[in-house]
Amino acid sequence: MKASKMIIPTLKEAPNEAQIANHILLIRAGMIKKLVAGVYNYLPMGLKVLGKIENIIREEMNLSEAQEILSSALQPKELWEESGRWFKYGPELMRLNDRHNREFCLGPTHEEIFTYLARDLIKSYKQLPVCLYQIQTKYRDELRPRFGLMRGREFIMKDAYSFDIDLAGLDKSYNVMYDTYTRIFNRLNIKFKTVLADTGAIGGSESHQFMALSDIGESTIAYCSSCDYAADEEKCEAISSEKIEKETLQETALIHTPNAKTIEEVVNFLNCDIKKVVKSIVYADDFNSRLVMVLVRGDRDINEIKVVNALDIPEAFLRLASDNEIAKINSVSGFVGPVNAENVMILVDKEVSEMSNFIVGANKKDYHLTNVNFGRDFNGTVKDLRMAKEGDICPVCGKPLSFERGIEVGQIFKLQTKYSEAMDACVLDSQGVKTPLVMGSYGIGVTRTMAAIIEQNHDEFGICWPLNVAPYHAVIVPVNYNDEAQQNLALEIYEKLRNNKVDVVLDDRDAKVGFKFKDWELIGVPYIITVGKKAIEDIVEFKVRKENIKVEKTKEEATNIIIDAVKNL
Ligand code: ATP
Ligand code: MG
């Protein structure tokens, strides 16, 4: 391709809307353009990268004998009612009506559609196992679309669904996809960890996430350096390394704590250890129309996923209670506590149940209670409800856990028969008995993966694409395209590379050479060949983008390096 014919809308400055590197670079390099929050257009250079990522995913999925289909984004409400998710999925589901007032959604994921397809297409155990996949646009009305392609409201996902006759079959299919994802992310040059995960709105019995390691990731990974345990922070069991000694129980006392509402204010006012204070947070469970108080130690954070799981409700139905609702449990915001609270379910973090003589809100403005004890002064359901934290130990081997941040680029789930039973997707087994299909579901965020690759592969000048996903493998930059020798050599190299399957651009634009270099460094083309004064001697300057060093090479040397590298992809 000749650059003079291309749309290369690079920008000098970072746009206001973007703060993190991959978002800034995607926009500055002219790869994407925002339409509205969380919705992007993919421009020619961006689409080329996307296509290459998709093809790597496709090759590996096909190698694992998954079959590609393309299903609709528009999904009828009826199927979501069959699975029970029309109501449960909550406000993230993009819902719409047609002219006859029939209700639809734009698919955020496709369990319903693939279960519907399987119940018609698969009749006998003899057809199993089957794995179907697609690469398709998904819609989620995210509460906070942000960071460009990382959290969009419209994004591209590769989703796959496996169908087996029994749980042993599912285990095999799941492992095949686990290995396939490992190959895909390795080929995409992503540094990642695979972690145990919560099953969330998709559901099922077991799940893993593939996390691209990055400080700007929205997920936190807890992992053990002594064994191979690794889990998403939301999933990680919280086990403290601190030994909790049971003290002699003291008598409860009401104490005046004017204006001390937050944990910090209480600690400062009473001049006590934060580990002696218990945080009481009231939530509304809108699924069951009830209020729930959750208790964790003062220095701990509540893990809302664990709360949602303890209540067995969809995540979208949990929210913080309003002041009015807090009044309904006979309490007041800032001074909430479990003793004598009314009309509220109490969930107690395991650690709190083991503590003695702690401080809680007294359900009375400007008062707290001291020397409160679980079992004596109040009761509730005891569960692991807090976030795992630095200082906690590995649930498998007991050694200290470490933490790091990651971008969730993929997740796989053992759905078992959740959807097939609800939607009556059955086959006949070898005895001729009707049995529900045993399913798995497997997603890769394709556009988020593109962002993650940039996040892990960039420098101060721009993107450093790995060769196999770069929009172009190489660019030829003549210093002066009007110079005959330079033009001839540039064209000769261009033709040679093109004839050897190298995706190459010839920058024939009428612009300063410095301007051109800046563009290609920003866009991140892996090889840059500069054709300048030594064109008459067939000598060019050769630069590997990510190393940023220029060396002189003959035209043969330069072209052969690139041709070989592309051949070896
Ligand atoms: P998250 O926890 O980040 O909201 P999720 O767990 O809800 O994601 P899944 O249902 O597991 O997402 O979807 C499969 C994959 O699709 C994710 O691993 C992620 O890579 C991608 N993905 C999910 N939501 C988005 C989004 N809003 N924008 C871009 N990619 C997304
Ligand atoms: Mg997920």
Give pLDDT tens digits for 76-126: 999 999 999 999 999 999 999 999 999 999 999 999 999 999 999 999 999
Per-residue pLDDT tens over the stretch 354-404:
999 999 999 999 999 999 999 999 999 999 999 999 889 999 999 999 999
| Whether residue 17 has pLDDT greater than 90 | no
Instruction: Report residue 332 CA to chain centroid gap.
Output: 37
At residue 484, the pLDDT reads 96
Pocket-testing residue among 408, 409, 446, ligand 1, by greatest number of atoms within 8 A of Cβ: 408
pLDDT of amino acid 167: 97
Length of the chain in terms of residues written = 569
CA proximity to 73, closest of 153, 164, 178: 153
CA of 531 to the centre of ligand 1 (A): 44
Average pLDDT over all residues of the chain: 97
Rounded to two decimals, the pTM is 0.95
Closest to 293 measured CA to CA, from 330, 332, 338, 350:
338
- Give the number of whichever ligand sits closest to the CA of residue 142: 1
Q: How confident is the model over 41-57, as pLDDT tens digits?
A: 999 999 999 999 999 99
pLDDT at 37: 95
Residue 482 CB partners (closer than 8 Å, separation 6+):
none
Indicate if ligand 1 lies below 6 Å from the C-beta of 151: yes
Contact of 416 with 174, CB cutoff 8 Å: no
- For residue 283, what are its two tokens? 């939530």
Per-residue pLDDT at 350:
97
Question: Nearest 5°: phi and psi at 325?
Answer: -70, -35
Give me the percent of the chain exceeding a pLDDT of 70: 100
Among 442, 52, 404, 19, which residue's Cα sits nearest to residue 211?
Answer: 404
CA of 108 to the centre of ligand 1 (A): 9
Q: How far is the CA of 443 from the centre of ligand 2 (A)?
A: 8
Q: Which residue has the tokens 């300063």?
A: 512
* pLDDT exceeds cutoff 90 at 205: no
Ligand (nearest to CA of 140): 1
- The closest ligand to the CA of 442 turns out to be 1
Span from the CA of 507 to the centroid of ligand 2 (angstroms): 41
- Could you write out the three-class secondary structure of 73-93? CEEEHHHHHHHCHHHHCHHHC
245 contact partners, CB below 8 Å, separation of at least 6: none
CA 183 to ligand 1 centroid distance, Å: 20
User: What is the CATH code of the structural domain delimited by 253-383?
Assistant: 3.90.960.10
DSSP state of 20: S
CA of 299 to the centre of ligand 2 (A): 28
Residue 176 has pLDDT above 90, yes or no: yes
Q: How far is the CA of 445 from the centre of ligand 1 (A)?
A: 6
Answer yes or no: are the C-beta atoms of 468 and 448 closer than 8 Å: no
DSSP string, 85-119: HHHHTGGGSEEEE-TT--EEEE-SS-HHHHHHHHH
Residue 512 half-sphere exposure, CB side, CA atoms within 13 Å?
Answer: 3
What per-residue confidence (pLDDT) applies to 14? 84
In this prediction, residue 244 carries a pLDDT of: 86
DSSP string, 27-75: HHTTSEEEEETTEEEEPHHHHHHHHHHHHHHHHHHHHTT-EE----SEE
Q: Is 217 in the pocket of ligand 1 (CB under 6 A)?
A: no
Provide the 10 A C-beta neighbour count for residue 246. 10
pLDDT value at position 502? 98
Percent of the chain with pLDDT over 90: 97
Does residue 519 have its Cβ closer than 6 Å to ligand 1?
no
- In this prediction, residue 203 has a pLDDT band, given cuts at 50, 70 and 90, of confident
Instruction: Give the residue, by CA position, lying nearest to ligand 1 atom 15.
Output: 445
Q: Cβ(335)–Cβ(345) under 8 Å? A: no
pLDDT at 245: 87
CATH label, 46-237+403-455, candidates 3.30.470.20, 3.30.930.10, 3.30.70.270, 3.30.420.10? 3.30.930.10
Residue 202, pLDDT score:
84
Distance from C-alpha of 494 to C-alpha of 483, rounded to nearest angstrom: 16
- What is the rounded CA–CA span in Å between residue 127 and residue 159? 21
User: Measured between alpha carbons, how far is 403 from 213 in angstroms, rounded to an integer?
Assistant: 11
Q: Read off the pLDDT of residues 422-477 as tens digits, 9 standing for 90 and up.
A: 999 999 999 999 999 999 999 999 999 999 999 999 999 999 999 999 999 999 99
253-383 with 472-567: one CATH topology? no
User: What residues contact 507, with CB distance under 8 A and at least 6 apart?
Assistant: 3, 475, 476, 477, 478, 516, 519, 520
Phi-psi category of residue 375: left, alpha or beta, with phi > 0 → left and psi -120 to 50 → alpha:
left
CB 204 within 8 A of CB 415: yes
pLDDT value, residue 514: 96
Domain boundaries of the chain, sorted by first residue: 46-237+403-455, 253-383, 472-567
Are the C-beta atoms of 292 and 345 separated by less than 8 Å? yes
Quote the CA–CA distance of 481 and 538 in Å, as a whole number.
15
Q: Give the three-class secondary structure for 307.
A: helix
Q: Is there an atom of ligand 1 within 6 Å of 219 CB?
A: no
- The closest residue, in CA terms, to atom 28 on ligand 1 is 151
State how far the Cα of 504 lies from the Cα of 527, in Å rounded to an integer: 9
Residue 538 predicted with pLDDT over 90: yes
* Strand (E) or helix (H) holding 486: helix 484-499
Tokens of 20: 């993190």
CB-based contacts of 28: which residues, under 8 Å, 6+ apart? 10, 11, 12, 13, 14, 15, 462, 522
**What is the mean pLDDT of the segment spanning 7-33?**
95
Q: Which of 157, 202, 207 to mutate to test the pocket of ligand 1 (most atoms within 8 A of CB)?
A: 157
Q: How far is the CA of 222 from the centre of ligand 1 (A)?
A: 19
- Fold type of domain 472-567: Rossmann fold (3.40.50)
User: Ligand 1 pocket, 160 CB below 6 A?
Assistant: no
17 with 34: CB under 8 angstroms?
yes
Reported confidence tier of residue 548, pLDDT bands at 50, 70, 90: confident
Ligand 1 pocket check for 535: Cβ under 6 Å: no
Pocket test for ligand 1, best of 106, 111, 194, 411 (most atoms within 8 A of CB): 411
Q: Mean pLDDT across the stretch 292-316? A: 97
Q: Is the pLDDT of residue 253 over 90?
A: yes
pLDDT of res. 48? 98
CA 207–ligand 2 middle distance (angstroms):
9
DSSP type of residue 416 = E
Q: What is the mean pLDDT of residues 135-153?
A: 97
